[in-house]
Copies of this chain bind each other. A is one copy, B any other.
Amino acid sequence: MLTLHQMQESGNCYKVRLAARELGIPLRLKEYPFGAGKTRMPEFLAKNPNGRVPMLELDDGQFLPESGAILFYLAEGSRLLPSDKLGRAQALQWMFFEQYEHEPYVAVARRWLKFETKQALAAKQHLVPEWHAKGNAALGVMESHLAKRDWFAGGQYSIADIALYGYTHAAEDGGFDLARYPAISSWLKRVAAQPNYITLDESW
C-alpha cells in the first residue's frame, strides 16, 4: 500500500487525499504535526532533501515529493487526467500556475493568519497586503477562465481542479473574500458535489 507522509491541515496534502479518494486508491497516512519541525530533521531529509510534505512512499521504498507530481502519478491513465495530449498539458498548465501564482499568496496568507501566533504574525504583517494583491490577481485569472467553462482542463473534472481547489476553497482563512468571485464560487460547489468528495478536515 502507498504511504502518504502528510500534514492534515496542509492544502497540498489534502489535494493528494482528495485525488486518491476519488480514484479509490488506498493510502496509509503518516502524520507530521504542524510546527514540530520533523520534516527538517536528518531522518526526513534523507528521504526528501527539500524537507517538505506531501511525500508519497511507494511499495518499493522509493519516495515522490511535490503535490503536483504525486497527483500526476496517481491520476495518469485515470478519469482525473484528460486522455488527449493538449488536455494533459493544460491540466499541468493550471497546476504550475497554482504553485507559482496562487499557493505562495493564498496558502501562505492562510498559514500565517490562521495557524501562527499573533506574535509570529507580527513579523510578517507588512507582507499581508502583497499576499492579498497577488492572491486576488490569481483568483481573477481563475474567475475569467471559469466564467466560460465548468472545469480547468479538458472539459472534465481533473487533477487541475483538485490542485486549485486545495487552497482556493480555504482562501477565506487567509482573509480573501470569495463572494467577489461568482464563477469560482459555483466551481467550488461543483467540486464539492463530486460523489467521492472529502473535506480537508475529514479523517482518512
Residues of A within 8 A of B (CB): 49-50, 58, 62, 64-70, 72-73, 76, 85-86, 88-90, 92-93, 95-97, 99-101, 103-104, 140-141, 144-145
B50, A64: Cβ atoms closer than 8 Å: no
9 smallest beta-carbon distances between A and B, as pairs: A73-B89, A69-B93, A69-B92, A66-B96, A66-B93, A68-B96, A49-B144, A49-B141, A69-B89
Chain A interface mostly: helix
The residue that A66 contacts in the complex, of B65, B73, B92, B144, with Cβ under 8 A, is: B92
CB atoms of B69 and A96 under 8 A apart: yes
Q: Which residue of B lies closest to A73 (CB)?
A: B89
A88 close to B66 (CB less than 8 A):
no
With A70-B89, A86-B58 as given contacts, are A101 and B50 in contact (CB-CB < 8 Å)?
yes
Question: What residue in chain B is nearest A138 (Cβ atoms)?
Answer: B50
Contacts of A65 in B (CB 8 A): 93, 97
Bound complex: CA A144 to CA B141 (Å): 37
Name, among A62, A72, A96, the residue most crowded by chain B CB atoms within 10 Å (CB to CB). Answer: A96
Q: List 28 A-B contacts (CB under 8 A).
A: A49-B140, A49-B144, A49-B145, A50-B97, A50-B141, A58-B86, A64-B89, A64-B93, A66-B93, A66-B96, A66-B97, A67-B96, A68-B96, A69-B89, A69-B92, A69-B93, A69-B96, A70-B89, A72-B89, A72-B92, A73-B88, A73-B89, A76-B85, A92-B92, A95-B96, A96-B96, A99-B100, A100-B100
